[in-house]
Structure 1
């Protein structure tokens, strides 16, 4: 891999450039700001060998693949040229901020047969593979219900900036808990199959003072009538990310932050199937990128495909038909 383009100058783009430099030290990394505006303070962009202002200019650099790490509302604008030119693209999650852009991206991928993956990197967490194996082997018997909860305090995500100015806090940029925390929805469909929305409650709490949903509760079901309760929020000061799966043969508890998986038998006996709290989670991103550059259309897993990411946007579109409740103190 000799020439790689990275769109975006935010934290995730910075991570991608750093990882590329470490794993492909001789590669030329060409960076483009999400809105095409080069830094005015002449501050050096970390791990960028060259800066350009547009996708057109980036494509003239003869890049071999591109990473689109811009706001979701710009994903179509930034990715379509690469897709039409047959240049492989890794698009950060979510696929887009709107259903219209998502459909257009999927259409372009199928028409041009370009390799495109979506950055749902939690699939590369080792404990994710363990949970998937347990479910596939039916070690919990018939599944009854699943409880999924993630909570992260939005102001703590990027403490060096005003969170109100971040993409996550602005509806027009594709913010809100549904899109920003859609990892949980992707994992749920990857592990349980396509999900149907039964009910949703969307709230915007006064504490954060944003125009997006910062607290979401969902009731979902799959074709086997497994019920999934999903809670997403921007409010919990102590980060929380856990699953509990209950079946006829026992239950499973999964802590994604501690990277641990524990089963509980019908008699109450606990067995730790996997525990690696010290595992470097940056490896999710490096393994995802390595899988992306080595993959073909016949070997996508566990990479998230465009069609899988589109199904998440379709689910979110259905959820957003429910009213946003503006709560008061």
Structure 2
């Protein structure tokens, strides 16, 4: 649709989407499916072509459009500048993950959201995975006893991420757009907090191990310490992230007192291996990863239309970026243990 006047039907739900890369396009498609009568304004610096929305290059048009909600789907490095240009908001805001590209910038974004902070939601869609929710419920419910340790691995070869696009030009590959495995795969940092609890400390190595033509880290290896639920106990986990592995993987394993639980995000399964059996048994298989996006946007529409509380808050995004900062600090200190609460270093 051509760039046009932004006046709209005041009776229909209206959404302004800022940024129309893969995340912005997906947001539009899912929201249009959920609310066929809604009106959309897409803000894209290169102009956006398509059906079902109005297009503009100017952020000034967001205010004139008077939307019921705003979606920030551009690079993480643009969040604060976009909010400054739009000005004071009175409607809920959805921000694609991560909240920002640095902890300092995240604090600024939170301040700029001001009165709509508590009505704004962050785009960690894996919180809406049926299988991951079930895995979390089992872990936190103590069905197989206390968690003694955990491990998580997520990896996919970067050139395979976005078919038809040169990986070197994508957000993932570019430091100036907030790329690198820590920010692009920050889902893992979010859901490991959500499942196992707040992180106490990290020890990490990050860097490039491949010949990919990127100026960001392609690998991160992190050890995580979490205060246990009993005196003098601590849960320790390991996280591996990379853009290098050719066979795509996304798993979390929890070693519990009376069994080992495993979540596979690719197959959407939760499995258990109990001492009495010498095999893995599938407990649940979900309906697929695409359903997480629909559930996520359903949740946000409930915030917009019913005043519900967002299920993923901006404070979660700040916590993720605090972890990213600690991981980077640890790497700079040759893997020293960094305490997240104080920022202190233990060699």
TM-score (norm 1): 0.90
Unmatched 5+ stretches in structure 1: none
Structure 2 alignment gaps of length 5 or more: 1-11, 229-233, 335-347
Residues 213 and 324, structure 1, Cα contact 8 Å, conserved in 2: no
Misfit runs of 4+, over 6 Å: none
Post-superposition shift, 1:10? 0.9
Give the counterpart of 1:231 among 240, 250, 257.
240
2:15 corresponds to = 4
Which of the residues 48, 62, 67 maps onto 1:63? 67
- Equivalence for 1:250: 259
Distance 1:82 1:135 in 2: 42
Describe the shift of the 1:297–1:220 C-alpha distance in structure 2 as closer, same or farther (beyond 3 A).
farther
Q: SS at the partner of 2:272?
A: strand
User: Structure 1 268/257 Cα, relative in aligned 2: closer, same or farther at 3 Å?
Assistant: same
Which is worse superposed, 173-182 or 286-295? 286-295
CA distance in 2, matches of 1:81, 1:291: 27
Q: Could you tell me which residue of structure 2 aligns to residue 272 of structure 1?
A: 282
* Residue 220 of structure 2, aligned match among 213, 216, 223: 216
> Which residues of 2 match residues 141-180 of structure 1 at below 5 A?
141-180=145-184
Partner residue of 1:20 out of 19, 31, 48:
31
Q: What CA RMSD, in Å, does the superposition of the two structures yield over aligned residues?
A: 2.0
8 Å Cα contact 1:83-1:114 kept in structure 2: no
Specify the alignment match of 2:342 in structure 1. Answer: none
Give yes or no for contact 2:154–2:250 (8 Å, CA) kept in 1. yes
Number of matched residues?
314
Q: CA deviation at 1:122?
A: 0.5
Deviations 1:54-77 (A, max 9, x none): 222112101100111100001222
Number of the residue aligned with 1:182:
186
Equivalent position of 2:40 in the other structure: 29
Between 252-261 and 78-87, the greater mean CA deviation after superposition: 78-87
CA positional deviation for 1:79:
3.6
How many Å apart are 1:316 and its aligned residue? 0.2
The CA deviation string for residues 142-164 of structure 1, in whole angstroms up to 9 with x for no partner, is 11111100001111112322211
Q: How does 1:28-177 map to 2 (within 5 A)?
A: 28-33=39-44, 36-38=45-47, 44-45=49-50, 47-80=51-84, 84-177=88-181
Q: Structure 1, residues 18-54: CA drift from partner, whole Å, max 9, x if none?
A: 1122111111111011xx2325xxxx33x44211122
Which residue among 294, 318, 321 is the counterpart of 1:313? 321
CA distance in 2 between partners of 1:297 and 1:272 (Å):
38
Q: Is the 8 A contact 1:87 1:114 kept in 2?
A: no
Given that residues 80 and 105 in structure 1 are in contact (C-alpha distance below 8 angstroms), is that contact kept between their aligned partners in structure 2?
Answer: no
